[in-house]
Chain A
Amino acid sequence: MHVTSPVREPLIQGGKTYADVTEDICRHVEGAPTKEWKIAFGISLLVLGYGSYCLAWTWWEGLGVWGLNKTVGWAWDITNFVWWVGIGHAGTLISAILLLFRQKWRTSINRAAEAMTIFAVLAAASFILMHMGRPWMAYWALPLPNAFGSLWVNFNSPLVWDVFAISTYFSVSLVFWYIGLIPDLATIRDRATSKVSKLMYGLFAMGWDGSAKTWARYEYVSLILAGLSTPLVLSVHTIVSMDFATSVIPGWHTTIFPPYFVAGAIFSGFAMVQNLMLITRVVYRLEDYITLEHIETMNKVITLTGSVVGVAYITEFFIAWYSGVEYEYYAFFNRMTGPYWWAYWAMMTCNVISPQLFWSRKLRRSITFTFFISVIVNIGMWFERFVIIVTSLHRDYLPSSWAMFSPTRYDIGDYIFSFGLFFTLFLLFSKYLPVINMAEVKAVIRSTSADLPKKIAGVAKARHDVNKMGQPVPNYNKEQE
């Protein structure tokens, strides 16, 4: 008999069989692109095109096209970078930390969330290249023997740590994502009818055959990758926060930054996952796989991390006063009441108040409201980085050099570029690759499906009838089922 604990709703609705899972998820990969997809892809290509023009001009003409000045030397570039990297934290968190915690609900969303991570980190990396001004010199950040005497990069600098952290995070996430894709690529390969797709999916599936030996190794590799990625996720935003925290700028020089940044990253990342999944589930008709239960669980994570962020804001403020350091105090007072007060209060409203609305179960389970709040959270998190960077810089120790920052069309255009890049890549992913991990969903369907299909019903308990050595327990009887 199949027993579901009454406090938990089933993860997969609609009584799916294994074949149904394959069919439902392969449908959009195998079919021709839909009209909606073509329109969305066309729009994102246009956005990318305009962004690329702005980016090309930025590189051609130099960083003077941005609104930076002598006082505010970092503004939208680093704001956008931190914002995208933060968003890029949700995917690996879902696939790695939730795997270690054995949270089965991750199986329906981990593929798309990981893809989102990879594209968000690419968008973030584009700002690193942009803010160098001379991107062809980017290799200077690497410890390479060079022609200028053997002068090496400074390994004491968090900016160099960042180079290693971001590139490791990107490549390890990519590997993790690809390893997870292989069994599903094999499924598509084995169903493919056209020669081209058979070959393309086949080459990337690496000859996967799903033998018991391969699966055992696969699970072991996934587990270790999850174990490695968990501290990796936390280390990346910790190091990003150290770019600020190890400087002596009031407003940046704060020991609270690492946990505060990591919580903020998860907060904005989950909001972005919500945005993408709410659209994906409707467009690809995956409501049985990404259920209200999934949405509600993610909203709970948003509330938790949003509260951590809120507590961090208040702590930071309290310490600025309590420390008695007048510059520190001024930096925070200026954030709240200075010329950028609107950015500060936008941040406070979006990040501290809005996630608290999810304490209401009704709002937590409302799709429209979830979508709305997710957008609000992402706006708020962008303002958080803007507030941290610009308001800390624009009034420094010397009042004669106080200045304001206002973006030019190239600041905005380069931000638009990152959206074009992100959505173009995400749309390509959602068309040509399965957006849900079929193998993992199949593995949890038996224990979590709502209405178990006849074919696989009534055998959930049988798992326990095989002992460690693989010998059946004596009283096991097939007919009892």
Chain B
Amino acid sequence: MAELTGKYLVGVYDDDDTVLHAVPKLRKSGVKIEEVYSPFPIHGLDEALGHPRTRIGIAAFMFGVTGCCCALTLMIWTMGIDWPMIIGGKDPISIPNYIPITFELTVLFTAFGMVTTFFISNGMGPASHFHPRFDFRSTDNKFVMAINMGSNAMSEDEISRALRDSGAEEVNIKQF
């Protein structure tokens, strides 16, 4: 969630397919779209907007590797080095017995690490509740397109017309 400053044109659509088709059309005619807000995920919208593919998977993998290493280190050190014990006639360091806990901790680290990364990369947190929003209906049934006037060369009228042509049912101005 970027900091919102300046003047925005806000196009409100009432259908997900309309907005999905409006995005490439508007971008082709030279309008720079900052973001589209929707009540549910629209497949292909982030690609259409030109957002780069999320790298959260890489983070998840790194957390998983960390969890796996931590679990193995903990068990090998406690069972084999700090206080070696022979249990059931097995070697103090018996890796097959450590697999269940290694798996569980890998999952635990991945899940929590990934979700924390998710919140941080979206700038989400309890305090974000107080951030300004474009249109509160975007979590109900409206699809809201935000265009930052500061980064667009076209005039307000031109963009407004383009938005209406692409199917927007309302075009509002929002000043932050």
Contact = CB atoms under 8 A, between A and B. Distances in A.
Interface of A: 17-19, 22, 143, 149-152, 154-156, 158, 160-161, 164-165, 168, 171-172, 175-176, 179, 183, 186-187, 189-191, 199, 202-221, 224-225, 228-229, 231-232, 235, 239, 438-440, 442-443, 446, 455-456, 459, 462-463, 465-466, 468-472, 476, 478
A239 B101 CA distance: 10
Interface string B35-50: 1111111111111111
Contacts of A471: 24, 28
A438 B46 CA distance: 21
B82 A150 contact: yes
B150 interface: no
A241 to B, nearest CB: 12
A453 to B, nearest CB: 11
Interface in B71-127: 74-75, 78-79, 82-83, 85, 87-88, 90, 94, 97-98, 100-101, 103-105, 107-108, 110-112, 114-115, 118-119, 121-127
Interface in B118-140: 118-119, 121-131, 133, 136-140
Nearest to B99: A161
Contacts of A19: 140-141
Nearest to B137: A190
Contacts of B56: 217, 220-221, 224
- When A and B form their complex, which 5 residue pairs have the shortest distance between CB atoms, in order from nearest? A207-B128, A470-B48, A18-B141, A202-B129, A152-B78
B36 to A, nearest CB: 5
A171 B40 CA distance: 25
Contacts of A199: 129
Nearest to A149: B83
Contacts, number: 227
B21 interface: yes
Nearest to A23: B140
With a 10 A CB-CB cut-off, give which of B21, B36, B130 has the most chain A CB atoms. B21
A225 B46 CA distance: 21
B128 A22 contact: no
Contact of B107 (A17, A155, A190, A232): A232
Given A210-B37, A216-B54, A155 B21 contact: no
A464 to B, nearest CB: 10
B108 A168 contact: yes
Contacts of A442: 39-40, 141
Given A212-B49, A214-B124, A228-B110, 4 more contacts: A143-B78, A171-B111, A213-B35, A472-B25
A211 B136 CA distance: 12
B41 A218 contact: yes
B60 interface: yes
B100 A206 contact: no
Given A155-B79, A206-B126, A470-B23, A165 B133 contact: no
Nearest to B112: A175
A206 B118 contact: no
Contact of A459 (B17, B36, B38): B17
Contacts of B51: 212-213, 216
